[in-house]
Amino acid sequence: MTIFSWKGVDTEGRPLAGDIDAQNLNKARIEIYERGARPDEIKVKKRSFFKRDLFQRKISTVDILNFTRQLETMINSGLPIVRCLSTIKEQEQKPKLKEVITKIQSSVESGSYLSEAISEFPEVFSSLYIHMVKAGEKGGILGKIMSRLADTIEKENDLRKNVKDALVYPAFILSVAITVITIIIGFVIPVFKDMFISFGSDLPLPTQFVVDLSLILKNNSIYILLVLISLTFLLKTLYSSEKGRLRIDALILKVPVIGSIILKKSISSFSRSMGSMMESKVTINEALYLSSKTAENRFFAKIVAEINVGISEGVTLTDAFKQTSIFPPVAVSMIATGDATGSLEKMFKRLADLLDNETQRVSKNMVKLLEPVVIVITGVIVAALIISIYLPVFYLPGTMGL
């Protein structure tokens, strides 16, 4: 059973609100009507943080991909939707996904369309996914749509994994380097400090600098930690707000190399989604609207929304893309060619494939470049620290007259 929050009015038009426990959205709506109320808004009630199962695994993109592939195969084999869902549910091992499939099956058995049933789980199925399923149901080509969805999700997942790997590996090397340097300054240098002081002579400038830096870190470690925690909390709070996330996402796209990779990935995802939706007979305006709602980068989503507004106001598709500051000339050129030749959906998919290859190439080159650079910089810093430790051994005997 699922708890739904609802708002509406009674028979005399007075506002009402409350929670209701029901198997699905349709049954919740029926029960509210039976209570003599007319619901205007019904949505799944979010559980508080303390009531969540912290050890239950989240439904991943791979889980949705497997579900979509299985559904595609069974639908194309001629099986009814309810039978397909029942079979997938019996085979599913993850409790959370099994619960979702069970509720979808219950909704379909109650007379709902599949698109209506999955729309009850916006945290699992994107609006793009839901609208493409709806388009497949209307056109009687649900099997083909599920195949396109599965292909889109698979390519998106592969691209996301490649980009993530490209960004994580250099970050890992950098974090290890910072950890090693921090350990040397925070724990190794203090061991030698007392010995240096016992010599009773001025330390060489590099050694004195390292000792002072070590003392600063040691004496202010709690304050430094509090500052880092505060900054992390501030950034998280800022990123959780719409305006804050918009600004941060815009700044991310301006970061050298990394920003370029993320932008190419965003345009690739956008192009593949547009191609799939237009193949499914979704209108250009609706496709752009859905793409703006499902884009991960908020600044990119804002640009797509502006393109949609421009087209709605009479601007041509090519001009709308030209007016943006983030779509590269090759993307604008391919979209213009597709628009002129009536093969826009194919051109969007070609653009996605082109940018996929470009993103993977840039990602691999970045990893190859950053790995030796980080290692060399780390080596130089560690060597400088070690030299600063041993400098007194060479300087102090002379100053002590030995």
CA distances from 43 to 38, 121, 153, 160, 354 (A): 14, 10, 26, 30, 40
Quickly tell me which residue has 């195969």 as its tokens.
73
What does the longest C-alpha to C-alpha distance in the chain come to? 103
3-state secondary structure of 8: strand
List own/partner pairs for 307-313 with CB under 8 A and 24 or more apart: 311/284, 311/285, 312/285
Note the pLDDT of residue 19.
Answer: 76
Predicted pLDDT of residue 197: 66
Mean pLDDT lowest among 127-131, 337-341, 346-350 = 127-131
Selection from 167, 154, 159, 155 nearest residue 358 by Cα: 159
The closest of 201, 235, 185 to 384, measured between CA atoms, is 185
Q: What are the tens digits of pLDDT across the range 160-201?
A: 787 777 777 777 888 888 888 888 887 777 777 767 666 666
Q: How far apart are CA 313 and CA 99, in angstroms?
A: 44
The pLDDT assigned to 53 comes to: 46
CA-CA distance, 259 to 266, in Å (whole number)?
10
> Quick one: pLDDT at residue 200?
62
Least confident window among 165-174, 286-295, 307-316: 165-174
pLDDT at residue 2, as a whole number: 67
What is the Cα–Cα distance from 66 to 72, expressed in whole angstroms?
Answer: 10
Query: Is residue 13 over pLDDT 80?
Result: no
Beta bridge partners of 15: 9
Query: Token pair 């559904």 is at which residue?
Result: 71
> Taking Cα atoms as reference points, which of 19, 104, 109 lies closest to residue 59?
104
Domains of the chain in start order, with CATH, are 2-47 (3.10.20), 61-154 (1.20.81.30), 155-402 (1.20.81.30)
Average pLDDT over residues 228-255: 89
* Token digits of residue 340: 């002129």
- Relative to beta strand 15-22, strand 37-44 is unpaired
DSSP 3-state of 124: coil
How far the first Cα of the chain sits from its last, in Å, is: 85
The two tokens of residue 123 are 């945290």
Per-residue CA distances from 232 to 46, 219, 235, 379 (Å): 25, 22, 5, 29
More confident residue, 278 or 367: 278
pLDDT: which is higher, 219 or 166: 219
Q: How confident is the model at residue 306, as a pLDDT?
A: 92
